């Protein structure tokens, strides 16, 4: 023991991300990546970018992406913070907002990074139990004692979803801070699926923070682009003061902007993913899996006979990756990202083989 590390972090266990194989040739359905490439505008940009600009520091204010987001969503720039993936936005929030003794309310099933961040930065997590169908009610979050509420919407790893109107209606009469992590919002079956689609309501409700990412719907997980929106001036001032000066790199700021400009390309991909979500649910149900309804780009399934962990291992032998969480609650479940039609076909064939081989 050298003893240089703070007591609370000696032997500390962080968030464990899904396996990222270094080689190609996998059907990778374990981290909810988008099966389609980013916009062709990004290929064009990379092949013609003036690479000498990399010698200079990027914009500390996240430009030009921040300005483009501001225009797209009619939200003024100082209410937007561009971050190095949405994980950085979440980490900065926990750092800026929560004393050790502050209570942060979340459903008992949600993105498992939140309790890790409370262990690092502050806040005591208070979990509101989800029901047998892994559902929860906004009323139950609101009626618990605490400073803030956080959950993913659509939720992970379940895919349940509340409309922005439902959340606004509850948050507007609340004295708590509502932090809505919209990583998967573009996959919900609604024309206006995000809180950002309601700028007037968002601007007048000061107790809301919305977090978005380019990792899922924009096929840019590798570029680490996220952002946070809040009309609360104090929160935004604190986040800007706490973040690293140059937290987002130049190429990502440019690629994020280009992605926003090509939403037509992405809308088509999202449509295919949603169609595949319906198809996969139906096919896996035919095989005897219980499949939760999902508004995200993944499905949570429960095998009917075989052990979930064993299925995960047997799929891995076939170079197919799905996610199995090492928690008691989720021991019997698998979370499977919606891949391309070809990848999904490959998964179904492998599952068929595994199930029939065991009958």
Q: Output 1 or 264, the one with its CB closest to its own copies.
A: 1
Shortest distance (Å) from residue 91 CB to its own copies: 6
Phi and psi at 325, nearest 5°, equal: -95, 135
Judge contact between 277 and 336, C-beta under 8 A. Answer: no
Shortest distance (Å) from residue 210 CB to its own copies: 14
Q: DSSP label at 216?
A: S
Shortest distance (Å) from residue 16 CB to its own copies: 8
Strand pairing report for 124-128 and 148-152? unpaired
| Residue 230: both structure tokens together | 């809040």
Shortest distance (Å) from residue 303 CB to its own copies: 26
Closest by CA to 93, choosing from 75, 66, 118, is: 118
Q: Output 198 or 240, the one with its CB closest to its own copies.
A: 240
Shortest distance (Å) from residue 9 CB to its own copies: 5
Q: Output 87 or 283, the one with its CB closest to its own copies.
A: 87
Judge contact between 233 and 268, C-beta under 8 A. Answer: no
Spacing of C-alpha 277 from chain mean position: 17
| Residue 144: both structure tokens together | 């618990």
> Rounded CA gap, 168 and 208, in Å?
9
Q: Output 95 or 355, the one with its CB closest to its own copies.
A: 95
Q: Output 87 or 257, the one with its CB closest to its own copies.
A: 87
What are the start-end ranges of the E strands in the chain? 27-29, 80-83, 103-107, 124-128, 148-152, 177-181, 208-213, 226-229, 290-291, 298-302, 320-322, 334-337
> Rounded CA gap, 86 and 219, in Å?
14
Shortest distance (Å) from residue 8 CB to its own copies: 9
Degrees to nearest 5, angle at CA 59 with 54 and 63: 110
Q: Output 90 or 354, the one with its CB closest to its own copies.
A: 90
Shortest distance (Å) from residue 202 CB to its own copies: 15
Q: Output 45 or 198, the one with its CB closest to its own copies.
A: 45
Judge contact between 129 and 119, C-beta under 8 A. Answer: no
């Amino acid at each position: 023991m050298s003893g240089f590390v703070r007591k609370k972090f000696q032997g500390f266990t962080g968030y464990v991300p899904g396996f990222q194989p270094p080689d190609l040739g996998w059907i990778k359905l374990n981290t909810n990546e988008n099966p389609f490439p980013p916009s062709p505008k990004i290929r064009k940009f990379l092949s013609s970018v003036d690479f000498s600009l990399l010698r200079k520091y990027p914009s500390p204010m996240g430009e030009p992406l921040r300005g483009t987001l501001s225009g797209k969503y009619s939200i003024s720039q100082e209410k937007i913070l561009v971050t190095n993936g949405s994980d950085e936005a979440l980490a900065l929030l926990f750092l800026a907002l929560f004393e050790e003794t502050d209570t942060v309310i979340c459903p008992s099933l949600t993105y498992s990074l939140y309790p890790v961040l409370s262990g690092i930065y502050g806040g005591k997590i208070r979990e509101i139990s989800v029901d047998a169908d892994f559902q929860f009610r906004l009323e139950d979050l609101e009626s618990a004692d605490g400073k803030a509420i956080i959950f993913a919407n659509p939720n992970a790893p379940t895919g349940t979803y509340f409309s922005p109107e439902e959340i606004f209606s509850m948050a507007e009469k609340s004295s708590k801070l509502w932090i809505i992590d919209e990583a998967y919002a573009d996959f919900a079956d609604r024309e206006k699926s995000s809180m950002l689609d309601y700028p007037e309501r968002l601007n007048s409700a000061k107790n809301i923070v919305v977090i978005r990412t380019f990792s899922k719907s924009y096929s840019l997980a590798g570029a680490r682009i996220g952002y946070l929106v809040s009309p609360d001036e104090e929160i935004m001032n604190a986040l800007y003061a706490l973040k690293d000066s140059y937290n987002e790199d130049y190429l990502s700021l440019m690629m994020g902007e280009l992605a926003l400009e090509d939403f037509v390309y992405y809308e088509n991909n999202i449509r295919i993913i949603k169609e595949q979500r319906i198809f996969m649910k139906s096919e896996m149900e035919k095989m005897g899996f219980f499949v939760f309804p999902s508004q995200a780009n993944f499905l949570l399934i429960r095998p009917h006979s075989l052990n979930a962990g064993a299925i995960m291992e047997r799929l891995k032998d076939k170079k197919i990756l799905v996610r199995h969480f090492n928690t008691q609650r989720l021991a019997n479940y698998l979370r499977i990202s919606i891949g391309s039609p070809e990848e999904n076909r490959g998964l179904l064939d492998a599952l068929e083989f595994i199930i029939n081989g065991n009958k």
